[in-house]
Structure 1
Amino acid sequence: MSPTPQVAHVDPAALLLRRFVALYQQLDHGQLHRLGEVYHPQISFIDPLHRVEGLPALTHYFDGLYRRLKQCRVQIHDQLVQGDQAALYWTMEFNHPSLNHGDTVRLEGHSHLKFGALIHYHRDYFDAGQMLYEQLPLLGSVIRRVKLRVAP
């Protein structure tokens, strides 16, 4: 009698997070049609600058963000998963013609995700000043000086 082959259990949460990470590592303006592969149609997306409800609104929001980027790379460093939630810690590097003279901007942040079969809640946490305001020619130098004065 032959032994019964063991079927490996695939954790749906782990599979969804793998798809999410893979998508974000490839995400650019031409890949926005793929957001529905990981996001629920009623996704709630929040970042320090906006709150967006629903997949069409999220796609529109990302369309505006990615349209002017020369490049954007996201590297996920760590993942903490508990049940139907995850925290992902990441570094984003991007080039935007209006920020940092078009040179690369590096941003550290993390995302809180809640999911079932698809992600229905995504909240990003990052320093909006570091991402945006510090990269503007005049305002950036003022903000950096203020940060140096306040820092311990």
Structure 2
Amino acid sequence: MDSLSPSSAGPPADAARLDRFAAFFERMTAADVGRLGEIYAEDVHFADPFSDFRGLDDLRRVFAAMFDGMRDYALSVDEKGMTAADTGMVRWTMSGSVRALGREPWIVHGVSVIRFDAEGRVREHLDYWDAAGQFYERLPVLGWVLRRIRRRIAQH
């Protein structure tokens, strides 16, 4: 796990918050969903390619549904670093099998921007990953259409 080394990195105490966040996510299981309040603020803002909402209760529902819908879930932090006193970035790889899509493993590479509040809890968690290439293109009919569109655009 390498660290990003931006010129505006915050003091070590700031990096400790990000280290705690990253360690929690690398070890997280379905049983840990109830502990999200140790890491996240009550009014957390969360966004990814499928969701955009505020609130710890909704975050718990999203993670509970993820664990319910996946087999062999794993997440590894590939790189992390603070970009400002209250903001960090985490580059990660998530893997597992989506129950609704069969047994074939699903691997997603993404980046999270994490903003902390004054108490050190996550107040904003923004996930960025290629939903078209890493998810939608794997769906039977939609995937075929998206792959054709991608090839057509790439030819120009």
Structure 2 length-normalised TM: 0.82
Change (3 A) 1:15 1:80: closer
Cα pair 2:15 2:81 within 8 Å, conserved: no
Identical counterparts, % of pairs = 29
Superposition CA RMSD, Å:
1.8
In the TM superposition, 1:1-152 aligns within 5 A as 11-81=12-82, 82-99=84-101, 101-116=102-117, 117-151=120-154
Max radius of gyration: which structure? 1
- CA distance in 1 between partners of 2:152 and 2:107 (Å): 22
Runs of 4+, deviation exceeding 4 Å: none
Contact residue 78 and residue 89 of structure 1 kept, 8 A? yes
CA distance in structure 2 between the aligned counterparts of 1:136 and 1:102, rounded to whole angstroms: 13
Output one character per residue of 1:76-95: Cα deviation in whole Å (capped at 9) or x when no partner. Answer: 12223121101111111121
Give the secondary structure class of the aligned counterpart of 2:99: coil
For 2:30 and 2:110, locate their aligned partners in 1 and report how far apart those are by CA, in whole Å. Answer: 21
Structure 1: distance between partners of 2:134 and 2:67: 14
Secondary structure (helix, strand or coil) at the match of 1:102 reads: coil
Q: Post-superposition shift, 1:75?
A: 1.5
Contact 2:110 2:128 in 1 (8 A): yes
Deviations 1:106-134 (A, max 9, x none): 11110111103211011011111234311
Aligned residues: 142
Higher relative contact order (CA 8 A, sep 6+): 2
- Unaligned 5+ residue runs, structure 2? 1-10
- Counterpart residue type for residue 100 of structure 2: S
Residues 1:72 and 1:132: Cα distance change in structure 2 (over 3 Å): same
5+ residue gaps, structure 1: 1-9
Partner Cα distance (1:147, 1:94) in 2: 25
